[in-house]
Amino acid sequence: MELPENLNKDSNGYESAEKIILRWDSTASEDARERMIFETDRQEADLYLQAVDEIQRSLSNVSISTSSNAGKNANAVDDQSKVNTTIQIAMARLEDEFRNILITHSSALETDSLFDPSSSSISTPSHHELEEDDTLSNDDSSHHHDLLQLQLQHCESSDSSTYRSTSSIREVDLMPSEAICDLQAIAMRMISSGYLRECIQVYGSVRKSAIDSSFRKLGIEKLSIGDVQRLEWEALESKIRRWIRAAKVCVRILFASEKKLCEQIFECVGTDIDDACFMETVKGPAIQLFNFAEAISISRRSPEKLFKILDLHDALMDLLPDIEAVFDSKSSDSIRVQAAEILSRLAEAARGILSEFESAVLREPSRVPVPGGTIHPLTRYVMNYISLISDYKQTLIELIISKPSTGSRYSGDQTTPDMEFAELEGKTPLALHLIWIIVVLQFNLDGKSKHYRDASLAHLFIMNNVHYIVQKVKGSPELREMIGDDYLRKLTGKFRQAATSYQRATWVSVLYCLRDEGLHVSGSFSSGVSKSALRERFKTFNAMFEEVHRTQATWLIPDTQLREELRISISEKLIPAYRSFLGRFRSHIESGRHPENYIKYSVEDLEMAVLDFFEGYPVSQHLRKRSQ
Amino acid sequence: MPATDYQGTSSPLTNIGRSLLPVRRDQVHAMESPIGGSASNEAEIESFQRRVAERFHDLASVPSDELLSLPWVRKLLDVFLCCQEEFRVILFKNIALVKKSPMDRLIADFYERTVKALDVCNAIRDGIEQIRQWQKLLEIVLCALGDSNVGYQRSLGEGQFRRARKALIDLAIGMLDEKDSGQALAHRNRSFGRHNTSGSHSRDHHHRSLGHFRSLSWSVSRSWSAARQLQAIGNNLAAPRGNEVIATNGLAVPVYTMGSVLLFVMWALVAAIPCQDRGLQVHFNVPRQFPWSAPILWLHERILEESKKRDRKNACGLLREIYQMEKCSRLLGELADSVQFPLSEDKEREVKQRVKELEQVLDALKEDLEPLEKQVREVFHRIVRSRTEGLDSFAREHNPE
């Protein structure tokens, strides 16, 4: 066979190169099929790569020679075909080797040698997202967590204080550097021979399944929007917690490390190839990851979801710069966009939930009065809710940008309260919403108070509830700052007013019994007191006081200080009035028969009796005459 | 977090939120205008019905070789987006009515249907990604057998065919519907029989991982079924009764119309694009009096017929381009199995012809696949947005307890 001159020159090199290639043609021999070169024989691997280079060189020479001969030379065509076939055999081989190296090293990370079971005890996490590790039902996921931590430890043993952190991008070496060198060497040859597509294909398929197994260990599930809609909220809450933790690991460690690996293998091989490989690997997993957050962002809105949605929002907001850094290429545009879309939907959901909460508070329909005029469950719920809101102040101040949609003073709408914005100049929209919620709550409570048949109890109810609101606001510095002292004073005024109204409603008529008018018989001089009128007075007073004592002992003021204050205030009016009444008229009764029927109680008895008030227990017997 | 972090991201959100309000106000205003009232409402509903009918007539008027092509599917989605937008406007103009019974229930049902369509959109997005994988394999075939990357007339040798065949095998496996993968394996043995004896250890592994790869490409759980999802969308979708139409001032009609459009469009997407557990057994019981019922029913019938054709029965999607991919790759695979080297001029010409066809299919995919993906995403967004608006306006009036 007559070889073209230039081929002839290197014919020895070419022929031995071809021999090597053909020896490893897996379609030709059992041995070639079973053994992997790079796995078993370092020296042979280098020889093989050299052989490929040699063949490639001949191919370009042949191309030049055949094109200059315009393809007339049949031998040249033959040669070219032969070289092409050899290249194809070599590329098929390299593809298999490439895949084999990838597969070998994508499982290496998960071997037990890296995983030290005692390492679970090292997690006394400083970082808050790790605190809830015990909530993971899936042992695998914590296993993987430890695994990742260990890898990080391996990589950055010098910096042991931060190795566990997922608060910033932390690339891990997914493969040993020798493997990366081999992959690079193979990739270079596949790409220069025009086998870029095969290379990307193989790379993507192996790494994708590696990511998939990491996903399973992290507990990232495949859930449809329908699945998410059907799940109970409690179940979703724990899934959200897990997702937040997993997403941090995914973006900052998993995806970032994948990106680094692509760069390590492909960056020097050609432009944008690393990027193509990265997206081939990560696009599907990234979409799968974000699908869950997206499903949450469009789920049905209800008040209890607000805080987890805000958690999710904050986590994603926090991740966004890193998502943008990891997915910075043009081809990963769609992933950046999707993350931003989800973030804006979550923000929208938070706004929607807040306004839904407001209307729920306004229209909460329960009509059965709480016994004893104590704090209504709605009040507790709403106040706990808004103090939680104040915990999320930082986020919500950014998200809540419009004032609440309140009723208007002049609308004449009886179903919605008013709110005077003029007095609240300079408040953030969030603060206005919080005040509005309190306004709406009071409006609803006022409505509920009307269901008490006893006006005194209605006042006591309002006093208790508004006092509770004030205490709750004062108890949280954040909340207090947002609500503001002005509005707080207003609220304080309101419960004080309710206390006054209560006293008036209950005690004016009782104290009325202790007045002088109507007891003196006109015309008489020294003892001008009508005994029968006086006896009637004492009897009325006793009966009224007993009745008030009996009922109001069962009423409840849960706040001890408030209870104390109100009792003192009652005593301050009742005791002096009774004492002086007794002082003035005692002798008139005691001079008659059965004085004990009319003066049943000493001053001390009454003082003691007032102490029974608002304890929430029925007094077992009749008001006892303790001084006897 | 520093406040500056929020600047970039929070401002577009506020724009979205705000842009809706003026629209609402304008439309509320329009409703209150003196010409308003139920007569103009009726005319509006009437013209909505008419426009929906026209659009589907247009879709139905394609010759059979364009039905279910990528451009046709894109047009279908355009039609959906237009209908959805007009429907949304009608709802806003009648917001007061929408909140009253029985409209509130009808519209709540409608939103339930639309949420179910979101999962179909996501499944279709996965399906498009899968087509893209096949596209990449065919690009390898083109790379091996085509001459675009070589500046001279190159003769095809065994090497190129081996390369092409490898990609074609991967493609054939990738294109199999999951449910008949057993059957498929036999198919592979037959059609690539000559090569099968040389299936290597690592190549087997490779094929396993390809199968695995396919399952990875679905982002929904393995139990998710497109067929069942379609049934859920169509569940209880019934033409409104006369008293409902009267009680809703006619609004029940566009709600039903939009529900039917949604169902049909999702059904057609599932018919065309690969997705998990496809199934087309959805009943369309559209009464004939709706002007759009005729073209939709006709399209339904034509697509069903297409699915029953012998060579399409086991297809993973009725998209015309998928059919062409299949056909091209099958013919090329057969050629690759039968050729002798050196190639005879006849064979060479035949190969060139096939490669040219392949090139055309790939060009079509290159042109339309990405816009289609964007459109599917847009459909997703619009559905979410209209539902959110609905929820928001409900929240103001309804007692959530």
Q: In terms of CA atoms, which chain B residue is nearest residue A397?
A: B3
Q: Quick one: pLDDT band at residue A77, thresholds 50, 70, 90?
A: low
Query: Phi then psi for A365, rounded to 5 degrees?
Result: -95, 0
Q: Quick one: pLDDT band at residue B388, thresholds 50, 70, 90?
A: confident
Q: Residue A287 is nearest to which of B118, B201, B219, comparing CB atoms?
A: B219
- Measured CA to CA, the distance from residue A345 to residue A313 in angstroms comes to 9
Distance from CA of A376 to the nearest CA of B (A): 17
Q: Please state, rounded to an integer, the average pLDDT across all residues of chain B.
A: 80
**Is the model's pLDDT at A402 over the cut of 50?**
yes
Q: Which residue has the higher pLDDT, A107 or A23?
A: A23
Flag if B220 and A223 touch (Cβ within 8 Å).
Answer: yes
Q: Residue B159 is nearest to which of A85, A212, A405, comparing CB atoms?
A: A85
Q: What is the pLDDT of residue B189?
A: 38
Flag if A197 and B222 touch (Cβ within 8 Å).
Answer: no
What are the pLDDT digits (tens) for A472-501? 999 999 999 999 999 999 999 999 999 999
Identity (one letter) of the amino acid at A9? K
Distance from CA of B54 to the nearest CA of A (A): 33
Judgement on whether residues A397 and A527 belong to the same structural domain of the protein: no
A100 found inside a domain: no
Q: What is the pLDDT of residue A424?
A: 78
Q: Specify which residues A106 forms β-bridges with.
A: none
- Residues in chain B, total: 401
Q: What is the pLDDT of residue B1?
A: 36
Q: What is the pLDDT of residue B20?
A: 33
Contacts of A281 in chain B (CB under 8 A): none
Give the burial string for A547-556 (b: 16+ CB within 10 Å, else e). Answer: ebbebbbbbb
Q: Quick one: pLDDT band at residue B150, thresholds 50, 70, 90?
A: very low
B399 found inside a domain: no
Q: In terms of CA atoms, which chain B residue is nearest residue A80?
A: B157
Number of domains in chain A: 2
Contacts of B16 in chain A (CB under 8 A): 344, 348
What are the pLDDT digits (tens) for B193-215? 333 333 344 444 455 545 555 56
Distance from CA of A348 to the nearest CA of B (A): 8
Contacts of B204 in chain A (CB under 8 A): none
Q: How far apart are the first and last CA of chain B?
A: 36
A417 found inside a domain: yes
Q: What is the pLDDT of residue B215?
A: 61
Distance from CA of A387 to the nearest CA of B (A): 20
Query: Phi then psi for B286, rounded to 5 degrees?
Result: -90, 120
Q: Which residue has the higher pLDDT, A471 or B158?
A: A471
What are the pLDDT digits (tens) for A437-478? 999 999 999 999 999 999 999 999 999 999 999 999 999 999
Residue B131: other Cβ atoms inside 10 A: 23
Judgement on whether residues A495 and A534 belong to the same structural domain of the protein: no
- Measured CA to CA, the distance from residue A227 to residue A359 in angstroms comes to 28
Per-range mean pLDDT, top range of A197-201, B196-200, B347-351: A197-201
**Is the model's pLDDT at B139 over the cut of 90?**
yes
Contacts of B149 in chain A (CB under 8 A): 194
* Domain membership of residue A497 as a residue range: 364-508
Identity (one letter) of the amino acid at A206? V
ipTM of the complex: 0.82
Q: Taking residues B151-163, what's their average pLDDT?
A: 72
Flag if A26 and B16 touch (Cβ within 8 Å).
Answer: no
Q: What is the pLDDT of residue A116?
A: 31
Judgement on whether residues A448 and A488 belong to the same structural domain of the protein: yes
Per-range mean pLDDT, top range of A205-219, A509-523, B295-309: B295-309
Q: Taking residues A223-251, what's their average pLDDT?
A: 93
Q: Quick one: pLDDT band at residue A209, thresholds 50, 70, 90?
A: confident
Which of A66, A201, A428 has the highest number of chain B CBs within 10 A, making it the mutation to test binding with B? A201
**The two structure tokens encoding residue A136:** 């993971």
**Is the model's pLDDT at B135 over the cut of 60?**
yes
Q: Specify which residues B104 forms β-bridges with.
A: none
Report CA-CA distances (Å) from A519 to A527, A589, A592, A595.
11, 13, 16, 17
Q: Residue B200 is nearest to which of A33, A208, A347, comparing CB atoms?
A: A33
| Of the residues A508, A529, A557, the one at which a domain ends | A508
Q: In terms of CA atoms, which chain A residue is nearest residue B162?
A: A88
**Is the model's pLDDT at B328 over the cut of 80?**
yes
A429 found inside a domain: yes
Judgement on whether residues A394 and A485 belong to the same structural domain of the protein: yes
Q: Quick one: pLDDT band at residue A593, thresholds 50, 70, 90?
A: confident
Judgement on whether residues A593 and A457 belong to the same structural domain of the protein: no
Contacts of B137 in chain A (CB under 8 A): 201
Q: What is the pLDDT of residue B36?
A: 41
Q: Taking residues A165-173, what's their average pLDDT?
A: 82
Q: Residue B202 is nearest to which of A99, A284, A359, comparing CB atoms?
A: A99
- Measured CA to CA, the distance from residue A535 to residue A527 in angstroms comes to 15
B369 found inside a domain: yes
Flag if B212 and A99 touch (Cβ within 8 Å).
Answer: no
A325 found inside a domain: no
Residue A94: name the closest of A15, A25, A181, A27 by CA: A25
A495 found inside a domain: yes
Distance from CA of A567 to the nearest CA of B (A): 39
> Domain containing A587 — which CATH number?
1.20.1280.170
A471 found inside a domain: yes
Q: Quick one: pLDDT band at residue B97, thresholds 50, 70, 90?
A: confident
Kindly give, in sequence order, each residue whose CB lies less than 8 Å from that of residue B130, ignoring residues fewer than 6 positions away: B174, B214, B217, B274
Number of domains in chain B: 1
Contacts of A283 in chain B (CB under 8 A): 129
Judgement on whether residues A526 and A596 belong to the same structural domain of the protein: yes
Percent of chain B at pLDDT exceeding 90: 53
Q: What is the pLDDT of residue A512?
A: 93
- Measured CA to CA, the distance from residue A450 to residue A473 in angstroms comes to 25
Q: What is the pLDDT of residue A11?
A: 65
Q: Residue B391 is nearest to which of A80, A221, A352, comparing CB atoms?
A: A352
Judgement on whether residues A448 and A577 belong to the same structural domain of the protein: no
* Domain membership of residue B286 as a residue range: 68-148+156-176+220-389
Flag if A229 and B341 touch (Cβ within 8 Å).
Answer: no
B92 found inside a domain: yes
Q: What is the pLDDT of residue A148?
A: 45
Distance from CA of B246 to the nearest CA of A (A): 30
Q: Residue A26 is nearest to which of B167, B200, B209, comparing CB atoms?
A: B200
Q: What is the pLDDT of residue A109?
A: 43
Contacts of B122 in chain A (CB under 8 A): 224-225, 291
Judgement on whether residues A485 and A570 belong to the same structural domain of the protein: no
Judgement on whether residues A368 and A503 belong to the same structural domain of the protein: yes
Q: In terms of CA atoms, which chain A residue is nearest residue B8?
A: A340
Contacts of B126 in chain A (CB under 8 A): 284
What are the pLDDT digits (tens) for B230-248? 999 999 999 999 999 999 9
Least confident of A505-519, B142-156, B197-211: B197-211
Q: Quick one: pLDDT band at residue B27, thresholds 50, 70, 90?
A: very low
Q: What is the pLDDT of residue A74?
A: 59
**The two structure tokens encoding residue A353:** 């939930």
The SS3 of residue A479 is helix
- Measured CA to CA, the distance from residue A292 to residue B372 in angstroms comes to 23
Residue B277: name the closest of A501, A62, A224 by CA: A224
**Is the model's pLDDT at A504 over the cut of 80?**
yes
Q: What is the pLDDT of residue A621?
A: 56
Judgement on whether residues A501 and A524 belong to the same structural domain of the protein: no
B42 found inside a domain: no
Distance from CA of B322 to the nearest CA of A (A): 20
Judgement on whether residues A410 and A522 belong to the same structural domain of the protein: no
Query: Phi then psi for A529, rounded to 5 degrees?
Result: -110, 130
A373 found inside a domain: yes
What are the pLDDT digits (tens) for A533-582? 999 999 999 999 999 999 999 999 999 999 999 999 999 999 999 999 99
The SS3 of residue A615 is strand
A535 found inside a domain: yes
Give the CA-trace dihedral at A88, A92, A94, A97, to 10 degrees: -170
Judgement on whether residues A518 and A499 belong to the same structural domain of the protein: no
